[in-house]
Structure formats: structure tokens, C-alpha cells
Amino acid sequence: MSTWFGCGKKGNAWYLRLMAMAICTFFYWGNAIAQTPEEVLARVREKLEKVNDYEASGKMRTNVIFIKAPVASVKVYFKKPNRLKIKNESGISFIPKGSVNMNLNNIFLGDAGYDIIDMGKEAGTGFRIIKLLPKEDNSDVVLSTLYIDEAQSLIRRAKTTTKENGTYELDMKYGKYAEFGLADKVIFSFNTKDYKLPKGVTFDYDDGEQKETDKLKGKKGRVEIVYTSYTINKGVSDQVFQ
Amino acid sequence: MPPVIEVKDLTKNFKDIRAVDNLSFSVPAGEVYGFLGQNGAGKSTTIRMLATLIKPSAGEIRLFGLDLQRHRKEILRQVGAIIERPDLYKYLTGLENLRIFAAMSGIRPTTGKLMDQLEMVGLAERAHSKVKTYSQGMKQRLGIATALVHDPQLIILDEPVNGLDPQGIADIRNLILHLSKGLKKTVLVSSHLLSEIELIADSMLIIDRGKKLVEGKVNELFDPSETLVEVKTTDDAAIWDKLSTSSWKDDLQPRRSDRIVLKLYRSRVPEFMKALVEMDAGILSLNTRHSLEDYFLSLTSGQQHVDAFKD
Amino acid sequence: MWTLLKIELFKIFKRSRTYIAFGAITAIILLIQVALKFDGKSYIDLLMNNLKDSFDLTDDLKVKILNGYLICFVILNTLLIQMPLLVALVAGDSIAGEANMGTLRLSLTRPVSRTQYMLVKFAAATIYTLALLIWMALLALFGSMLIFGVNDMVVFRSDGIEQIPVFDVLWRYLAAFGFAAVALTTVSSLAFFLSVFAENSIGPIIATMSIVIVFTILSEMNIPIYDNTIKPYLFTSHMVAWKGFFYVKADADGATIPGSIENLRAIMKSLGILIAYTIVFTGSAVWVFNKKDILS
């Protein structure tokens, strides 16, 4: 661009160089300074709005301290505005309650809107931190904290507190479906209750090894889905969500 | 021919009780050997030691010239035994029982041969019936068949005619005689039916309280023309002393506390009575007995039993 | 020896009481299968009660969990408490039953050594145990697979859940049944040992069951004074080690590692202990029997 305006040549090009730099700076700073949190959110929503529905395939890994489960092949179905279902068609998967909140659209639900608190940028990553407090009293979401990649208008992380399902975190990694705001990898962290069954019911085999029982308490559970493909806006039957 | 059974100084203790006490006897080959004694005399214990069911506390047993402890398996191939009543597998048929015990003896006879065995003891028609449907006599006969199925050279029969009717008893008697005289087998028979032993035994052993009383050929120990004379006097001890220093001393039987017993030819009984009178014996009673049972009872310490069966 | 073994097996399987055990196993298994077919959801709800607040427990999920592999596990859990009794029925009758019938003295006058006689008796009792187990495997495992289908197997432990992929289950059951065979043979050897001392089979059967019950209670209770002293040495503590084949390893992210066993060493140790007990019981039985006077 600088070559096109002749900025790199000697003589009278100095003012052209200055203009180019000004334009570059304008766009750069314009983006930065001009983007209010509302604008940032709007851009994010704009991307998300592109998707009416999708059917995705992926591998799901369950990482809960008291569950050992194999990596499962799952299908994830989404339909606007807020229906999301994770299904293991043939096998068994323990799907966390509140997995519907893996749908980022849920954050923006509610006709009453939400209060926005701009927390600035996260050190290290440079992500814009924006808190949303839904105005609607009946909203299940109490508070959402979004870590947004402004340049790509993508939510990289979200921490949401809900009335029904406690607090969960979403961590997104994007790839070829970034233009739709659809992640290649989603890590969904959620609170779990401690697990215990009476030994008189299970008749466990005691192999004599000491178990670290403290480790089992109070840990968050994690479900990680690595998406292999998305079929977007091709229609998803309502029956899937029943 | 050497004896089939040789027992030397056999002893068996059960805690404080000495059931068999230094017993020695031998059973000649090819004979029917009667084994007599009252209940609790030690007969069963002795027979169980011969059959290796009980281990002797001391002494030696040799069968067919071999030490029983060291050559047990080899010896038992030639022995068939019924110890007390022959208890068999009630839920199996007679034929199945016979087949099992034949197999345990190391032989696998055909069904035909097994049926022959059953025919011999009169059970061929009931071969396929379960033993629980058999009468006591039938069980006894099946027991004998199991003892004979592997054609042993020595047969030990403990009370073989228990529970049999007179015909059955006669059949067993004939069988034993056939085994001994016809097939040259050696048969050791213990029985309470002394009349039967009298009819079939060649030799006999009488034991009491684990000890041998007498052993020998039946016709040498017991002559039907002989009789036992039992006499009770006012002073048995004095009369005993006189008799034991007189010509009657060889006829005296082992001393008893309650009477004096002599074995005499019947023809000498009047002479003996005269001798008693000459000795001034105050005779309280004088009886004669002339059967094996009488002989047996005179030897064994069954006072109560004797009184119970006195005329 | 083979002839004697055939005779013993013939005697065992000719008795109608032998089939009581097969009938009992069949009845128990069918009862459990019917109950879980009609109301398995309640059972799953009980097991997953802790999870309902954190996970979506749909009916579809419950149906999948309630598959043949889990049903078999439930059946084994129940049956391996009753099986010792059924095994003791035959083993406890081995010698005492013969003494009671009077056939012992008839048998021991045959040209068979007492050691041989005892080993054949024990072998026959062991074969009977294996026959019972195979019957149980057919009904509990293959029957359940037929009725309930198959899927991943979910094992509910007191402190966690293990999910084993469907392709990784069957070999574990084969190993578990093999282990159970050894465990039940240990009980059989105990009953066999006690049988030598009695002339009536009721005594050894009841004595065996009493010992198994008392030891099982001690094994399951968490009383510190017993935990480090008696418990590790009780054979009942090791009889449940078959479950160890269904405890899997997970990677750092908690994903099941197919083909893995959480603590194979412990299972092998338990196996060794059970085999040692079997050898001691059987060896002692043979030794005592060789010395014994047969008075029955």
C-alpha cells in the first residue's frame, strides 16, 4: 500500500507517506478506540446470527474426577434461538447439565436486554473482557463474562453463572468455521457434586492401595469436544431436541 | 501253601480303650475261616484293620505273604470285603453300583458279565431298579456281588446273612461253600449265627475283649460227639483244685468264676458225675451243652447272655 | 485316575440334589433379569442419584447403561454371595456324604490309595464348580446380552464410575469368570476339608457357610483394628478381586484406556492367595484323611 501511494520513493512522496501512515493509524486506532463494548458485541452477534442451525460431528472427552469414560463420537445439534443437543447415537456419554449453554447465543437471549460492563483488555491475550448482566428477571443467566477476540469478533472464553446450572466456563478454539463463530474445539467446564455410593451397595474390591480421597472433592468437571465437521443451515428436525 | 492271612501281635487302641490286644492268627488258603466273638469283642475292628480301614496301633498284617501297609493296592486287588452291612448308592441301580465297584477294583467287565454276577446272587431281574427299592436281603446279596465282582482270592464277609430269610441264608451258605470248595477261594466269615459257622467253617477263631480265646480247626476244637459239662457246686474253688490234679485235668476248660466247665465225650458224662460224688462235691447244678453256640458261650464272658438263653 | 474321576462325576450328576444348584442359579438370574427388564430404571436412578444434579440423565441414557454387560455384573455381585453355599453342597458332601451313606468303607477296601481317592473327589467337586460357573456365565452374560443388548459397560464404584467401551468388555468377563472359578474352588476346598471330619454332610456345609459369612462381614467392615491385621489374610477379602478386571486406567484427561486394568498386580496377588488357601485346605484334607480311621 505504501508502494502504491509512492510512499517509498524520494522527493515529493514524503507527504504521501505521511498520509498513508495517518490512514493506517486511523484504521487501527479507529477500530480500537471506536469500538464500544456494544459495537464489539454487535459484531460478535452478527457472526453468530449467520447460523440458523447446524449438525456437527465431533469427539467428546469427559474429564470429571470421578468418571473414567472413553472418548466418544458425538453429534451436536443446534437450532435457533437456543436449542442445543449433544447426542451419542450408539454409545453412552455423560452429558453435563447445562450443556445447552455451550450455545453462545444463549448469552444474548432475552428481550429485556442486558447491562454491559466493559472490563478492558485481558493482560497477555489482549482479549476484550465484557460483562453482561441480563435485565430480565426471569433470565436463567445471572452474569456472563466474555473474553472476546475483537479482531475476529469471536468469543474466546465465556464464564457464565446461571440460576439452574451453577457456573460454567467455555473455552473456544477456532479454525475453519470461525466465520460462523463456530469453534473447532470447545472446552466446557462445570461444577460437579461429590460422588459417593455406599460400599454395601457396590461391594468394591479393595486392592489395598491408599486412595487420595481429598483429590475427589470440589473439582470442576470438563467436557471437551473437538469438532470434525459442521453441516450449517441445512435444517435440523425438531425431533432431535426431544 | 502259605497262609493267606497272617496276623501277628495285632493291637488297636482307641484312646484309653484297647479294642484289639496282641491278636495273632493265620488263615489257611482255600478254607472257610470262622471269626467269632460277642459284640464289642473286637471282630469289626480286626476286620477293618485287615481291610485297611483302620490303622493298627501295633503288630503286623500280611496278606498273600505281603505286608499290608506297604503293598496295599496290590493286595486289595485280590480282596473282596463286606464290612458290616453293605451300604450302596441308593440313588443308583444295582447294575450301576456293581459297575462302579468293579471299576474301582480296576476292571471293566461287560454288562453281560455284570449281569452274570447279579444272576449268581439272584438279582438279575432287579438289575435296573434303584437300590433304594431293594429289601435288606437284596442289598445284602448285592453287597456280596460287589465283593466278588473282581474275582478276588480272599473274601472277607462280615455278617453276610444279616437280614436274610432262611432261603437266603441257605443260598449264602451254599455260595460260600462253592467259593471255597469249588473255586478254591479263601473266605473269612464273621457271624453271630453260630449254627451257620458250624456248618461251613473249616477253621475258626474266637476272640473276647480283643484277645484270642481259641483258634484251630473246627473239627478239632469242637466235636459234636463231645459235650460241654457245666457244673456248679457249693465250693467250686475246692472242686476245681481237685479236678486239676486228677485225671480230669485235661478236660477242664479255662477257669470261670461262676462254674466249672469240662469238655467230655458224652459217653464219659456218667463217669464224671460219679467222680464228683466221690470228691464230696455239693452239686448245685449240672448241665450239658453240645453245640458250637454252647461251646462259644462257655468260652466267652457273656454271663448275662447265657442266663437269658438258658432253658 | 481318569476312570475314578468319571465314576465320581457320574455319581455327582446322577443325584437329583446336584441340580438344585443349577435350578437355584437359573431362578435367581431370571428373577434379576425380569426385575431389571421391567424396573431397571429405578435401579439406575439409585446408582446415579449423585449425578442427577450435574448430568443429563435421560431415559435413553439409562436404557443404554442398563445393557447386558451391566446386568451380568449385577447378577455376579448377587450370585457370588450365594454361590459358595451351592458349591459347598457338593464339596461338603464329598467325604461326609459317603461316610453317612456307608459307601466310604466299601470304596476304601478297593485298590485305590486314599490320596488318589481324595484328589479325585476334589477334582470332581471342582469340575462341578466349573459346570455351575459355566451355566451361570451362559445365563447371566449371554442371556443378559440377548435380552438387554450390549453397549459400553458402566461400573459403579463407591467413589466413581468407570465406563468401559463395548469392544473392551467381553475379555474382562472371561477373566472374571476364570477368577471366580478359582475363588469358588477355594470355598470348595474348605468344604472338602471340613467334610473329612464329619459323617453327615450338613455339618461341613453349615460350617463352610458360617466361615464364609463371618469372614465376608469382617472383609467388608471398615474397622481399623481388622483392616491391617486380619483382613488382608482372609480369603473372602480376595474373592471379590474378579471386579478388578473392570477397574480401568485413565489417561491424564480422564479418558478410559482400553485394554487396561487399574491394578493387575493386586488381582494377581489375590489370585495367588486364593490358590495358596486351596492348596492348604486340600493338602490338609488329604493328610488328615490318610491318617483317619474309617469307623463309619
**Domains identified in chain A and CATH numbers:** 36-241 (2.50.20)
Alpha carbon of B236: minimum distance to chain C alpha carbons (Å): 42
Is C62's Cβ below 8 Å from some Cβ in A? no
Quick check: C110 and B105 CB within 8 A? Answer: yes
Interface of C with A in 97-126 (CB under 8 A): none
Is the Cβ–Cβ distance between A220 and A66 less than 8 Å? no
- Indicate the helix (H) or strand (E) that contains A29: helix A13-34
pLDDT tens digit sequence for B258-284: 889 888 888 888 899 999 999 999 999
Quick check: C256 and A63 CB within 8 A? Answer: no
Backbone torsion region of residue C232, taken as left when φ is above 0, otherwise alpha when ψ lies between -120 and 50, otherwise beta: alpha
Closest residue to C266, CB basis, from A66, A70, A207: A207
C-chain residues within 8 Å CB-CB of B90? 101
B-chain residues within 8 Å CB-CB of C107? 101, 104
CB-based contacts of B29, cutoff 8 Å, min separation 6 = B1, B2, B3, B4, B184, B186
Is C78's Cβ below 8 Å from some Cβ in A? no
pLDDT tens digit sequence for B39-55: 888 999 999 999 999 99
Residue B307 has pLDDT above 70, yes or no: no
Quick check: C160 and A190 CB within 8 A? Answer: no
> Does an interface of 3+ CB pairs under 8 Å exist between B and C?
yes
Is C264's Cβ below 8 Å from some Cβ in A? no
The confidence score (pLDDT) of residue B223 equals 66
> Does an interface of 3+ CB pairs under 8 Å exist between A and C?
yes
The mean per-residue pLDDT over the stretch B137-159 comes to: 91
Which pLDDT band, with edges at 50, 70 and 90, does B164 fall under? confident
In a domain? residue C6 = yes
User: Strand, helix or coil at B181?
Assistant: helix
Give the span between the Cα atoms of B178 and A70, in whole angstroms: 82
In a domain? residue C192 = yes
Q: Where in chain B is the domain with CATH 3.40.50.300?
A: 5-219
**What CATH number is given for B225-289 in this structure?**
3.30.70
Give the span between the Cα atoms of B14 and C83, in whole angstroms: 39
How many Cβ pairs closer than 8 A exist between chain B and C? 83
Comparing CA positions, the residue from C30, C12, C26, C271 lying closest to residue C122 is C12
Query: For the whole model, what pTM was predicted?
Result: 0.82
**B143 → chain C, closest CA residue:** C106
The mean per-residue pLDDT over the stretch B238-262 comes to: 88
With contact defined as 3+ CB pairs under 8 Å, the chains touching B are C
**Residue with the three cell numbers 449265627:** B193
Quick check: B104 and C7 CB within 8 A? Answer: yes
Torsion over CA: B75, B76, B77, B78 (sign): positive
Containing structural domain, residue C182: 2-291
A-chain residues within 8 Å CB-CB of C253? 61, 63, 224
The confidence score (pLDDT) of residue B234 equals 93
Distances in Å between the Cα of C17 and the Cα atoms of A227, B134, C25, C87, C206 are 61, 21, 13, 12, 16
> Which residues of C fall below an 8 Å CB-CB distance to B?
3-4, 6-7, 10-11, 14-16, 101-103, 105-113, 291, 293-295
Digits of tens for pLDDT over chain C (296 positions)? 899 999 999 999 999 888 989 999 999 999 999 999 999 999 999 898 888 888 988 899 999 999 999 999 999 988 777 889 899 989 999 999 999 999 999 999 999 999 999 999 999 999 999 999 999 999 999 999 999 999 999 999 988 999 999 999 999 999 999 999 999 999 999 999 999 999 999 999 999 999 999 998 888 877 888 877 888 889 999 999 999 999 999 998 889 999 999 999 999 999 999 999 999 999 999 999 999 999 98
User: Strand, helix or coil at B90?
Assistant: coil
With contact defined as 3+ CB pairs under 8 Å, the chains touching C are A, B
Give the span between the Cα atoms of C152 and A72, in whole angstroms: 11
Quick check: B76 and C109 CB within 8 A? Answer: yes
B-chain residues within 8 Å CB-CB of C10? 100
The confidence score (pLDDT) of residue B310 equals 38
User: Predicted ipTM?
Assistant: 0.85
In a domain? residue C9 = yes
In a domain? residue C296 = no
- Indicate the helix (H) or strand (E) that contains B272: helix B269-278
In a domain? residue C217 = yes
**A96 → chain C, closest CA residue:** C55
- Nine-digit cell at C25? 442359579
Quick check: C109 and B84 CB within 8 A? Answer: no
Comparing CA positions, the residue from C82, C70, C103 lying closest to residue C23 is C82
> Can the peptide bond before residue C232 be classed as cis, meaning omega within 30 degrees of 0?
no
The mean per-residue pLDDT over the stretch B27-42 comes to: 90
Quick check: C4 and B103 CB within 8 A? Answer: yes
The mean per-residue pLDDT over the stretch B52-73 comes to: 95
Query: How do strand C160-164 and strand A67-68 relate by DSSP bridges?
Result: parallel
Alpha carbon of B87: minimum distance to chain C alpha carbons (Å): 5
Alpha carbon of C70: minimum distance to chain A alpha carbons (Å): 13
Is the Cβ–Cβ distance between C77 and A203 less than 8 Å? yes
The confidence score (pLDDT) of residue A5 equals 45
Annotation: CATH topology of B5-219 = Rossmann fold (3.40.50)
Give the span between the Cα atoms of B225 and B124, in whole angstroms: 43
Which residue of C105, C120, C292 is the best one to mutate when testing the B interface, meaning the one whose CB has the most B CBs within 10 A?
Answer: C105
Quick check: C151 and A92 CB within 8 A? Answer: yes
Give the span between the Cα atoms of C96 and B223, in whole angstroms: 48
Residue segments in chain A with a per-residue pLDDT below the cut of 50: 1-8, 30-32
The confidence score (pLDDT) of residue A24 equals 57
> Does an interface of 3+ CB pairs under 8 Å exist between A and B?
no
With contact defined as 3+ CB pairs under 8 Å, the chains touching A are C
The mean per-residue pLDDT over the stretch B218-234 comes to: 80
User: Strand, helix or coil at B12?
Assistant: strand
